[in-house]
Structure 1
Amino acid sequence: MSHAYDKEDSTQREAATVSTQPRTVARSEKQAHRIIVVGGGAGGLELVTRLGDKLGKSGTAQVTLVDRSPTHIWKPLLHEVAAGSMDPNTHQLEYVAQARWHYFEFQQGELTGIDRERKLVKVAACLDQDGAELLPARELPYDTLVLAIGCVTHFFGVPGAAENAIALDTVDQAERFRRKLIAACVRAQNGRGRVGEDGRPRVDVAIIGAGATGVELSAELRNTAHVLNAYGLHQLDPRRDVRIHIVEAGPRILPALTERVSAETTKLLRKLDVDVFTSERVTEVTKDAVLTASGKHVDADLTVWAAGITAPGVLRTLGLPVSKMGQIVVGPTLQCETDPDIFAFGDCAAAPWPEKQTTVPPRAQAAHQQATFLYDAIRARLAGKPLPKFGFKDFGSLVSLGHFSAVGSLMGGLIGGSMFIEGLFARFMYTSLYRMHVLALHGAIGMGLDTITHWLRSKTSPRVKLH
């Protein structure tokens, strides 16, 4: 997030790192109900922020967030980080600072297990970049446990995929891709890269998977190619020499969205000279190519894997019921079927969606709705009241094509039906999703300051990170 929120001095931040204790505690620790939320993604961070403000501040509960990373970034932004159109340093939020401001604790480390008999969460040691131990392995006691650790990339066992393709699960992966893209362009213009059939230097980027991440990345990359050319980092023709290919196993792109959204997006991508290959199942990824079952050979100086997600493997080791995808199976109250003291939500949970006779889809809007629900449900649990049942409301889906356009559909409670939208209005709606997340973390004034700060920064910085 913006440095406008860096309100504490270094001494306070160091103290928060060591003790991570809430500032105001009205009860003793023995009396306070211990709530642990594992996972500081969009939903998890929103939940602990609200619980800390309500229960942590009053001392009614001791609220703790556990995450393996020290910072948070809204995951739908990672494709912009990969394309260089967003500097992650200006959008990341430090968990320690958020904990200090909102009366919860932060414990850095990766979840390794749960002792359900003793009601302990096991957290791995935290290491620095050189492998030296910063924090030891720990066991944290809980009364209520919430799992919100999200999902990871699924390579489906495709040979060479894990070794030669870059996933976009973390900021580090996105930044690695951005650096490799710039390096590939510089090499190509100096005759150290691939040469096309026309004898011109060429850079090929293959994106495997045409869901929202793959499609949004392709459009952002087309803009990046233009900007890098404008700033003189390469003299390649942004459209003819920088080739972008999307490879999708299904019959159309954006399979989770409506056919109209898929068709309109395909038209827009082709106008941007993005090659769209559908019904092409990837069978192998090499260092310089993507091979498909039909025999197609797609040149690739860089390959991004955005073809699927799966639940983190640790969930299968907890002794809790899991779905075929490895997600924790929860009921209508989002409680684990075999342990009412454990809740799960977001991408790591298989929550029922009775209206569609399926489970709630892994979307940011679902995590936001579930975080709001759990805030009320946990308060009811502490008050000894019966828990409500979660009901997912699908408000539609939006896909950003960067500076070029946006498309999507609005559904359900927003308009009473469904409506296709595109262009400026769709871009505004897409941007508002992130603003809603900032609002949940910082309130209306904080969101306003953050918006102004980033607008001012955009006026004094290049549109793409150039180094």
Structure 2
Amino acid sequence: MADTKHRVVIVGGGAGGLELATRLGDKFGKRGRADITLVDRMRAHLWKPLLHQVAAGTMDLGDHELDYLAQAHWHHFHYRVGEMIGLDRETREILLAAYVDDEGHEVTAPRRVPYDTLIIAIGSMSNDFATPGVSEHAVSLDTPTQADRFHRRLVNAAIRAHAQDHPLRPGQLNVAIIGAGATGTELAAELHYTTRQLVMYGLDRIDVERDVKINLIDAAPRILPALPERLSVAAAKLLEKLGVKIFTGARVTAVTADGVKLDGDVLIPAELVVWAAGVKAPDFLRDIGGLENNRANQLVVTPTLQSTRDPNIFAIGDCAACTWDQPGKLVPPRAQAAHQQASHMVGQIRRVLAGEALKVWRYRDFGSLVSLGEYSTVGNLMGGLAGRSLWIEGLFARLTYKSLYKMHQLALHGFWKVSLDTLARLITRRTEPHVKLH
């Protein structure tokens, strides 16, 4: 007899997608009520808000990655490696490209994965707006691989500068961060700390105060333009106190091997360039399967998180264009939104299986927090709930920021595993360098 279980396919194992697959597997997959499959082109998961720490070296990627195969085994869902490249709505199948390893060998052939309910949760990527030189000379922080690549460039640049027998050329150890949103701002603070830690481990021919300059660049009139102005002002004051040079109202016209060019033919010398400006959904989503998109390639969804042209297809997280509290205003691309949508989708799938009407999802803004590394954390809580917000900073804000990651881990692993893992990290932290050195 053919298997008639309802097939739920989730594409994208980010914060929202992996939490959803885990909860659906525990709730429906374990009991045989549905067949849950997670598809992702990567083999392991890392919470995206941590990428700036991986890039700076304050977090070791290998210590925090979660293997999809292991998570699927523990939580009763299937994991399939592959990149979605197409959608056949008539046959209800997604098309996956061949998966090829680093040596060019084909691991899996192109194939199709059938679904009854499809949930697209592939997140977002940086938007370089076709700026010349970005792909050749800058590193984005969209994936753990990119973050790790930047960190290796940073360490290699420091070792090279220490070993050379001639003076540093202008901008040799300078860093230019294009985009002063949360990722760029947090990276600037982390790099101020880690470059000093890195040099301390025997690279004494580098004068970090003289030789290492960090530049934060944005076309907006202030850093953190999407967040409350008070938060922006506080973060800018701290960064300037650390010596980070901030360029606001500055439009990047090109990235070169020597640095970053701004309007007016101004050159900011920098060997290391990070592109953290602009957000868009991956390009392959544009017009995929005839679904409705907006200009940022996001899939337009109804208040129930269903795509506007196919009720069997849902979208959550950064790749979904979902209106907030008024027409034209979209839910911001934040981890808290993806978490809320994943939680709501568990109920939606239960209703689909029971043949019940779906419920409308409403975003609740719990505020914003920005971590400035070892120096401070600032933010506001309860923003948008009662028309006012609570300003927090310092230790309480830092603990609140750290708790966001713990909440993500709890959703994936449960209390006891997270507690034991936290204890183990506290112990090993005392015996290891506080910055990754390779």
Instruction: Classify the TM-score, shorter chain.
Output: over 0.9
Tell me, what secondary structure is at the counterpart of 1:195? coil
- Output aligned runs, 1:110-129, within 5 Å: 110-129=83-102
1:222–1:239 CA contact under 8 A, matched in 2: no
Q: Does 1:315 align with 2:285?
A: yes
| 1:317-357 CA distance string (max 9 Å, x none) | 33100011110000000001110000001010101112475
Q: Partners in 2 of 1:206 and 1:194 — Cα distance?
A: 21
Residues 366 and 381 in structure 2, CA contact (< 8 A), matched pair in contact too: yes
Aligned partner of 2:379 among 404, 408, 414: 408
Residue 459 of structure 1: how far off its partner (Å): 1.3
Q: For each residue in 1:197-231, what CA deviation from the matched residue of structure 2 results, as whole angstroms up to 9, or x when unmatched?
A: 8xxx9511100010001011111111111111221
Within the candidate set 331, 336, 352, 2:323 is matched to: 352
Q: Which runs of 5+ in 2 are unaligned?
A: none
The verdict on how the C-alpha distance between 1:275 and 1:193 changes in structure 2, with shifts beyond 3 A counting, is farther
Tell me the equivalent position of 2:332: 361
Q: Is the 8 A contact 1:194 1:203 kept in 2?
A: no
Alpha-carbon distance in structure 2 between the residues aligned to 1:414 and 1:401: 25
Q: Residue 280 of structure 1 corresponds to which residue in structure 2?
A: 250
CA positional deviation for 1:195? 3.5
Find the aligned partners of 1:252 and 1:400 in 2 and give their Cα distance.
Answer: 17
Task: Give the direction of change, closer, same or farther, for the CA distance of 1:301–1:139 in structure 2 (3 Å limit).
Answer: same
Distance 2:164 2:245 in 1: 24
Report the counterpart of residue 131 of structure 2 in structure 1.
158
Equivalent residues of 2:383, 2:390 under 8 A apart: no
Residue 302 of structure 1 deviates from its aligned partner by 0.6
Matched, 1:140 2:113: yes
Q: Which residue of 2 aligns with 1:79?
A: 52
Partner of 1:24: none
Aligned 8 A contact 1:194 1:202 in 2: no
Aligned-pair distance for 1:454?
1.7
Out of 202-211 and 335-344, give the one that drifted further: 202-211
Q: 1:311–1:327: 8 Å Cα contact kept in structure 2?
A: yes
Check conservation: 1:193, 1:203, Cα contact below 8 A. no
CA contact (8 A) 2:367 2:384 kept: no
* Number of residues of Structure 1 aligned to a counterpart in Structure 2: 437
Compute the TM-score of the two structures, normalised by the length of structure 2.
Answer: 0.97
> What CA RMSD, in Å, does the superposition of the two structures yield over aligned residues?
1.6
Alignment partner, residue 227 of structure 2: 257
Secondary structure of the 1:354 match is: coil
Show the counterpart of 2:423. Answer: 452
Contact 2:365 2:385 in 1 (8 A): no
Q: How does 1:227-246 map to 2 (within 5 A)?
A: 227-246=197-216
Counterpart in the other structure of 1:441:
412
After TM superposition, list the pairs within 5 Å mapping 1:279-428 onto structure 2. Answer: 279-316=249-286, 317-355=288-326, 357-412=328-383, 417-428=388-399
Distance 1:192 1:255 in 2: 43
Structure 2: distance between partners of 1:269 and 1:116: 50
Distance 1:256 1:29 in 2: 51
Q: Shift in Å at residue 190 of structure 1?
A: 3.4
Structure 1 stretches of 5 or more lacking a match? 1-27
Q: How much does 1:29 deviate?
A: 5.9
Q: Percent identity?
A: 53
Change in CA separation of 1:127 and 1:285 when aligned onto 2, cut-off 3 Å: same
Matched, 1:69 2:42: yes
Asked if the contact 2:255/2:261 (under 8 Å) is kept, the reply is: yes
Please report the TM-score for the alignment, with normalisation by the length of structure 1. 0.91
